[in-house]
Chain A
Amino acid sequence: GESVGLHLPTLSVQEGDNSIINCAYSNSASDYFIWYKQESGKGPQFIIDIRSNMDKRQGQRVTVLLNKTVKHLSLQIAATQPGDSAVYFCAENSGGGADGLTFGKGTHLIIQP
């Protein structure tokens, strides 16, 4: 699989490989984090979330890792498929549920056959 140390606007991976998308968040008070997937012409779609009292959470083919020390979030997608092609955004919620989500810049994941 391919990983990126810093945010990249585009990540190209081979079908079947693992993908790692990174995100740096801004607010040390944020206590809730979400990864969204956005396909062309559609609104963002929820993938997985994690709260600040955890450092890892797994879903179906996806894993989110949270490193609060360096304010870093990553999304790992196992066995990447053509349908995974989309723009991926991380979002943070600074707490209380009353604030809006702050979104990262997004990474366009391109799947090569």
Chain B
Amino acid sequence: KAGVTQTPRYLIKTRGQQVTLSCSPISGHRSVSWYQQTPGQGLQFLFEYFSETQRNKGNFPGRFSGRQFSNSRSEMNVSTLELGDSALYLCASRVANTEAFFGQGTRLTVV
């Protein structure tokens, strides 16, 4: 079956802009979580959605938000982009309390 699909793969934005990233989970997976990966901070948890509800949120400012649709697809949004938001954004889907399957990620560069 198809894996986790993230779009776009690469994105370049200017400081102050906003961006929306998309994630399609593995069919049947209702939990979708988002992570930010940077060389300095490593992999950090952003938030998790299950059945269109945010269940948990990491320690990120309110500029980072997300949502999940009824078909389990998820989007995350970052507003008022800063240079430090440049990172690889990873989406993962899972069945409850099992391994998370990751997409290839979206590489965001803020200039």
Q: Which of A41, A46, A98 is in CB contact (< 8 Å) with B56?
A: A98
| Total B residues in contact with A, Cβ cutoff 8 Å | 27
Assess the A100–B99 pair: CB atoms within 8 A: no
Binary CB contact string for chain B from 94 to 105 against chain A (1 if under 8 A, 0 otherwise): 001111111111
Tell me if A's interface is mostly helix, strand, loop or mixed.
loop
With known contacts A32-B97, A93-B97, A102–B45 Cβ distance under 8 A: yes
Which chain B positions have C-beta within 8 A of A113? none
Assess the A49–B99 pair: CB atoms within 8 A: yes
* Shortest Cβ distance from B107 into A: residue: A41
Asked if A43 is an interface residue, CB under 8 A from chain B, the answer is yes
Cα-based distance from A96 to B52 in the complex (angstroms): 18
Assess the B42–A43 pair: CB atoms within 8 A: no
Asked if A89 is an interface residue, CB under 8 A from chain B, the answer is yes
Chain A, interface residues (CB within 8 Å), range: 20 to 34
Residues of B within 8 A of A (CB): 4, 31, 33, 35, 42-48, 50, 55-56, 58, 90, 92, 96-105
Q: Lowest 10 CB-CB distances: which A-B pairs, in order?
A: A100-B45, A97-B97, A43-B102, A103-B43, A97-B96, A98-B55, A46-B99, A44-B102, A43-B104, A43-B105
Residues of A within 8 A of B (CB): 32, 34, 36, 41-46, 49, 89, 91, 93, 96-106
